[in-house]
Structures are given as C-alpha cells and as structure tokens.
C-alpha cells in the first residue's frame, strides 16, 4: 500500500465508511509513547472458553443475547440461568501469553475472554482510543456490551476509537482472543515456535485532541545523508493546518500546510550526526500542528545497496547478526518489555553483533526502540512462513495488512533497515506472485528501506563437493537475498562444509539468514555426538570458515540467540519442547559455540576498524 494509499485508508476511516470487519479498526496512531496515555495493563478477569460457548450457540450461530460473554450479564434473580461469571473465573496478567501463566494452559489453543473494568474522566475537545500492542491471533473487542471490531494477526498493533462510547464510571472492555491455527491464516498451521496466545503486549487508553497528528514520517531521503524527506497526516475535522517539523538540536525546522485530506509532504536539508551502531544518535523531533504536538526520538541514517554491497550512510557494512525469537530472556514466555529487549540485545552485543533478525514476525515496539538506542540494526519479518495458502486472496490481504501495520508502527526507527516478506517458502507460480505483491507493498509503503526474504538455495553435489546456487526467481525483486542452510545438521556432514562453494544468479548482497545446530547446555561429549556442545561448537567453526569464502556475503544471522519453545521438539531429556539451537540456553547459560561466533565477529570488527 503506498503512503498516499495508507492516508486514503486513514481518510476512509476518518469518514467512518467501514468496509469489512477489520475496517472497524481505527487508523493506527503512531508513537503512542509520545501521547497522553492511561495504561490498562495488569490483572484482567478471564474466562477460558474452549468450545466458544460465549461466542456461538450449539448451532454454531453467533449469539448476541445475555449469553454472549461480552455482555458480562449478571443473573437478575436466583432462578435466572446464567452460566458464566467473570468475577469468579480468575485472572491473567496483561500483557502476557496465557500459556505460561497457568500450567493447564501451556498447550491450550482456542478462545480466552478477557475483561477489564475502568473509570474514565472525560475531557473537553479530547478523543479517546483504546490501543493494543498485539493480541494473538484473532481479537474481537467490545466496550460496555457493544462490539468495537475485530483484528486479525498476532504481532502488530491495532486501536479502536471509543470517544462516544466510554462512560465516566463502570466501563468494561471485553476481548475474545482466539489463537486457533487455520490453513488460510498468516502464519498457517505449521510453525517451529510456540503459539503463545493472549493479549501479549500493552493495552493503553490514548487521549488526543479532536484533530490530531495521526502519523508522520521523518527520515533521510533515500540514498541521501543530507536531505530530510517526510510527510504528516492529520486526523479529525480541522484537516487543513500549518504544521512545523523541528529538530531543535540541529537548528532546523520546516513549516508546511496540510491539504483537504489532512496530509502534507516536506523535505529540507539538515546537517546531522548520522545514526550508526557505533554512534546511535537520536534527535528529539517535534511535529507541531495548530491543534496538536508530538515529539519523538528519531535517528537519521541512509541504507542502500550497490551491487553486492550493503551501504550504511554510504559506506559498505558487514551485518554481524543473530536470530532472535520474541521470548523473554530467562523465562520462556512472550516478551514485551524494555527490560527483556535490553537483555536480549545486550547478549547480541556481547556476541559482537551490530544486527539482529527478529524472527519470524514483527516483535514488540519496545524491541525496535531499544535497538534504536543500543545501536543494533534490525531485520523485521512478517510471518509468511513455510507453506501459506498462496492462491487465497484473503491470505494475501492478511499478509499485506500485517506488513502495513508493521511499517506504520516502525517506519521512523533508524535501527530498522530491512523488511522480510517470507521465510523458507517453496518456489512456485502462486508463491512467486504472492511474494511479488508483498515486495511491492513493502517498497511502496516504505521506499526508504530494503526488502528481502529468507530463501533456500539449490544444491548440487559431486566429487569436488557441494555447489550451492541462489537461483530463486523471487530474488530478482529483492534488494538483498537471505538464505537459510543447515549443512552439517539437517543435511550433510560438518566436514562437507569445507568443500562447499556458493554462487548466485544475481549481483546482489547475501545475508546467510539461518544456519546452526542443536546443543543441550551442559551436555558434553565428542564432536560427533548430536546435541552436545562440542558438536555445535565444531559445526560453528566449519560454518564460519565456509562463510568467509563466500564473496558476495554481506551479513549473517545464525539460528539462534537463545533456546526457545517449540511444539515440534519432543525429544525427552534433550529438547523437551525446546528448540536447542540457541547459543544461550533458556536459562541464560552460554554454550561453547557462543564463543566461536564471538571470536569471528571480533575478527570482523577488528578488520573494519
């Protein structure tokens, strides 16, 4: 969706011409942290509803009467039949997945109803939105017994306007969260990560003026280090206003006037200290309209490609990376906080990383903002993972929505340099078309950043060794090629790495986006024994040696920083429902291979200084 497409959607929503269910989600408000907010985090009352009796009747028809849990109906007499009660059904923390809060819910997939009561002091000339950082997977949201709308997708934010619905006292917000997996969804039914359900990120009441600054982009012009280019989008009745973009510390400002749709574009020169991993400089950027003002810390850097090089601020860079799943560092549950982000990125920096791949879905906003502050470049991905329903137009629209929401949330993050539209997807006409659409969506939605996908190159083996070639047709449309390989673990022996060469049909940079093997921390033996630290260590040594020989390699992100929960990993005493390819165990213990990678990245750092 182009920028003007996104603001058209905003306009449609402003005018309230809701098309489908999802259209009832309000326009996404950018930079929640820079607004007047009230947190609704904490203990929420919940009802676990495996058969959705609070949503459909025994004929699977939607119920709209007192039996619908969103009405929070109370029996009016001792003889009235009501078979649910939020007040006596227990609590769960929000934000938080439900799986790790109650042992009985660890493997649970289905519906859980959440209820949060709150009072609210109405203010003149003020609109109120309820904002969700994310809820996995499908969220039906109700306020005071009325439906606000539905959101689909477990890893991106959404909000609803409640200005005309919120009361002073006795408000009750009810959310039905359902994480049942379905073929046509994104992701589809099969993943190698835990399907953590629930309201997994913060819930916030956001107060804004009647006409407010809905969204804006303030970034360097593509390929420039001296020219700022951006836009601002207002939302409300007073759409034509003077808006000033100011960077006090850099002594620059620009005033523009928004058009009838509340939108204005701008560009102006600025002499800025550029953001980089070594110097993650953030400027306080002020956006002031006649009716609203927002400030945000933003870094300025340029990212581009030239042949097989990736250029940061015009200079070639090698991306020393690691994969991360969105799990708390020392408690295998969905992470959402700044503290979690600081620890995870801290481990990555200890490895010598200047880059992380946030797999396989948009991680929480705290992670992106922490990467901005700590100077860690980011690969962000939408969960188009393995075998999606390529022919299904709803599935494509769903993937586009998730990408659009991620772009809207993160397009001012200097750390974010690359969007990934897919992971390990089978080459085929329908798939190529699907990914082609997504790549275009990313490029038009955010022309300042690069686009990639994690591919799987084809291989040929002969007496001389393994010959691996990147020839996936979709790579033609990518700025950077990602590639996953598990030589020495899922296929071939570790020694084969020494006789493996790489080539490509494309004059483009390669990021080796996954490689590695499992090891149980503390399990020691000879390097031929699977799951020992010694096997993983040796695998890393030979992988690193192979990577050094690939002439068009410009980055790598081994799989993975930390052991993480996976329903696909059942081996007792070793996996116990954990993928053990981490360099750090799920208790934060560093495995031998951690130091192999740290040494490699230390050498690279030494060679670029």
**C-beta of 486 vs 595, nearer to ligand GCU:** 486
Contact between 22 and 464 under an 8 Å Cβ cutoff? The reply is no
Q: Which residues pair with 111 in a beta bridge?
A: 49, 178
**C-beta of 35 vs 431, nearer to ligand GCU:** 431
To ligand GCU, the closest distance from the beta carbon of 570 in angstroms equals 14
Length of the chain measured in residues = 609
**C-beta of 269 vs 426, nearer to ligand GCU:** 426
Give the list of residues 6+ apart from residue 136 with CB closer than 8 angstroms, or none.
97, 154, 155, 177, 179, 195, 196, 197, 198, 200, 334
The answer to the question of residue 424 lying near ligand GCU (CB under 6 A) is: yes
**C-beta of 288 vs 423, nearer to ligand GCU:** 423
What's the token pair of residue 173? 């917000």
The answer to the question of residue 411 lying near ligand GCU (CB under 6 A) is: no
Which residue has the CB atom at the shortest distance from ligand GCU? 192
**C-beta of 152 vs 581, nearer to ligand GCU:** 581
To ligand GCU, the closest distance from the beta carbon of 568 in angstroms equals 8
First to last CA, the chain: 40
User: What is the residue whose two structure tokens read 């010694």?
Assistant: 534
Give the list of residues 6+ apart from residue 588 with CB closer than 8 angstroms, or none.
329, 330, 562
What's the token pair of residue 118? 């709150």
**C-beta of 310 vs 455, nearer to ligand GCU:** 455
To ligand GCU, the closest distance from the beta carbon of 336 in angstroms equals 21
**C-beta of 47 vs 547, nearer to ligand GCU:** 547
Give the list of residues 6+ apart from residue 482 with CB closer than 8 angstroms, or none.
379, 420, 452, 453, 454, 455, 510, 511, 512, 513
To ligand GCU, the closest distance from the beta carbon of 484 in angstroms equals 5
- Maximum alpha-carbon separation in the chain: 84
Give the list of residues 6+ apart from residue 504 with CB closer than 8 angstroms, or none.
469, 470, 471, 475, 481, 510, 552
Contact between 445 and 404 under an 8 Å Cβ cutoff? The reply is yes
How many residues of this chain bind ligand GCU (CB under 6 A)?
9
Residues numbered 509-538 forming contacts with ligand GCU, rule: CB under 6 A: 514
Nearest-angstrom CA–CA distance, 407 and 5? 13
Nearest-angstrom CA–CA distance, 339 and 532? 31
To ligand GCU, the closest distance from the beta carbon of 422 in angstroms equals 10
What's the token pair of residue 157? 């934010």
To ligand GCU, the closest distance from the beta carbon of 557 in angstroms equals 11
To ligand GCU, the closest distance from the beta carbon of 135 in angstroms equals 22
- What is the bridge-based pairing of β-strands 319-324 and 355-358? parallel
What's the token pair of residue 538? 């040796």
To ligand GCU, the closest distance from the beta carbon of 323 in angstroms equals 8
Residues numbered 561-590 forming contacts with ligand GCU, rule: CB under 6 A: 579, 581
To ligand GCU, the closest distance from the beta carbon of 160 in angstroms equals 32
**C-beta of 13 vs 597, nearer to ligand GCU:** 597
The answer to the question of residue 543 lying near ligand GCU (CB under 6 A) is: no
Interface map 477-516 toward ligand GCU (x if CB under 6 A): -------x-----------------------------x--
Contact between 320 and 605 under an 8 Å Cβ cutoff? The reply is yes
**C-beta of 512 vs 544, nearer to ligand GCU:** 512
Q: Which residues pair with 458 in a beta bridge?
A: 469
Measured N-to-C along each axis, helices 338-351 and 592-608 cross at an angle, to the nearest 10 degrees, of 70
Q: What Cα–Cα distance (Å) separates residue 605 from each residue in 318, 349, 534?
A: 9, 12, 26
To ligand GCU, the closest distance from the beta carbon of 517 in angstroms equals 9
> 552, 576, 556, 557: which is closest to 566 by C-alpha?
576
Q: Which of 192, 340, 410, 472 binds ligand GCU (CB under 6 A)?
A: 192
6's enclosing H/E stretch is helix 3-14
To ligand GCU, the closest distance from the beta carbon of 487 in angstroms equals 12
To ligand GCU, the closest distance from the beta carbon of 318 in angstroms equals 22
**C-beta of 208 vs 348, nearer to ligand GCU:** 348
**C-beta of 191 vs 333, nearer to ligand GCU:** 191
Residues numbered 206-225 forming contacts with ligand GCU, rule: CB under 6 A: none
**C-beta of 285 vs 455, nearer to ligand GCU:** 455
Q: Which of 559, 578, 600, 601 binds ligand GCU (CB under 6 A)?
A: 559
Residues numbered 359-378 forming contacts with ligand GCU, rule: CB under 6 A: 360
What are the residues binding ligand GCU (CB under 6 A)?
A: 192, 360, 423-424, 484, 514, 559, 579, 581
């Amino acid at each position: 969706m182009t920028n003007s497409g996104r603001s058209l959607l905003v306009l449609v929503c402003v005018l309230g011409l809701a098309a489908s269910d999802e259209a009832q989600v309000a326009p996404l408000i950018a930079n929640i942290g820079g607004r007047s907010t009230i947190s609704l985090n904490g203990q929420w009352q919940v009802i676990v509803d495996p058969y959705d009796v609070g949503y459909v009747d025994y004929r699977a028809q939607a119920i709209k009467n007192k039996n619908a849990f969103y009405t929070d109906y109370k029996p009016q007499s001792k003889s009235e039949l009501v078979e649910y009660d939020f007040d006596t059904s227990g609590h769960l923390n929000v934000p938080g997945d439900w799986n790790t809060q109650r042992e009985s819910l660890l493997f649970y997939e289905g519906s859980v109803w959440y209820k949060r009561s709150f009072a609210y002091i109405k203010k003149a000339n003020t609109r109120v939105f309820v904002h969700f950082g994310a809820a996995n997977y499908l969220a039906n949201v109700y306020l005071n017994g009325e439906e606000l709308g539905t959101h689909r997708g477990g890893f991106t934010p959404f909000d609803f306007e409640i200005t005309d619905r919120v009361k002073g006292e006795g408000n009750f917000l009810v959310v039905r969260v359902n994480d049942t997996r379905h073929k046509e969804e994104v992701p589809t039914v099969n993943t190698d990560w835990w399907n953590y359900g629930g309201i997994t990120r913060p819930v916030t009441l956001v107060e804004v003026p009647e006409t407010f600054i809905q969204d804006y982009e303030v970034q360097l012009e593509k390929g420039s280090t001296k020219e700022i280019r951006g836009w601002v989008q207002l939302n409300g009745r007073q759409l034509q206003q003077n808006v000033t973009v100011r960077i006090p510390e850099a002594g620059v400002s620009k005033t523009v006037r928004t058009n009838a749709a509340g939108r204005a574009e701008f560009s102006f020169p600025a002499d800025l200290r550029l953001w980089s991993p070594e110097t993650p400089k953030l400027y306080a950027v002020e956006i002031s309209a006649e009716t609203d003002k927002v400030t945000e810390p933003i870094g300025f850097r340029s990212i581009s490609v030239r042949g097989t090089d990736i250029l940061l601020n015009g200079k070639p860079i090698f991306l020393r990376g690691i994969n991360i799943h969105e799990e708390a560092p020392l408690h295998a549950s969905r992470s959402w906080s700044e503290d979690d982000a600081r620890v995870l990125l801290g481990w990555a920096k200890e490895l010598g990383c200047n880059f992380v791949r946030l797999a396989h879905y948009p991680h929480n906003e705290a992670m992106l903002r922490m990467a901005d502050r700590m100077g860690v470049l980011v690969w962000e991905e939408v969960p188009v993972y393995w075998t999606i329903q390529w022919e299904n137009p709803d599935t494509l629209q769903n993937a586009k929505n998730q990408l659009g929401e991620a772009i809207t949330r993160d397009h001012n993050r200097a750390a974010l340099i690359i969007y990934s539209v897919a992971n390990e997807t089978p080459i085929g006409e329908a798939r190529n078309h699907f990914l082609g659409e997504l790549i275009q969506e990313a490029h038009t939605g955010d022309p300042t950043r690069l686009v990639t996908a994690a591919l799987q190159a084809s291989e040929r083996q002969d007496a001389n060794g393994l010959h691996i070639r990147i020839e996936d047709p979709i790579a033609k449309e990518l700025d950077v090629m990602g590639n996953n390989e598990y030589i020495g673990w899922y296929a071939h022996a570790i020694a084969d790495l020494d006789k493996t060469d790489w080539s490509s049909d494309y004059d483009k940079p390669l990021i080796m986006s996954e490689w590695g093997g499992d090891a149980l921390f503390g399990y020691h033996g000879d390097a031929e024994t699977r799951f020992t630290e010694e096997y993983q260590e040796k695998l890393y040594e030979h992988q690193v040696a192979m990577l050094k020989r690939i002439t068009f390699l410009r980055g790598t992100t081994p799989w993975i920083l930390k052991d993480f929960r996976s329903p696909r990993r059942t081996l007792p005493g070793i996996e116990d429902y954990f993928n053990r390819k981490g360099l750090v165990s799920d208790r934060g213990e560093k495995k031998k291979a951690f130091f192999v990678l740290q040494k490699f990245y230390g050498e690279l750092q030494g060679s670029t200084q």
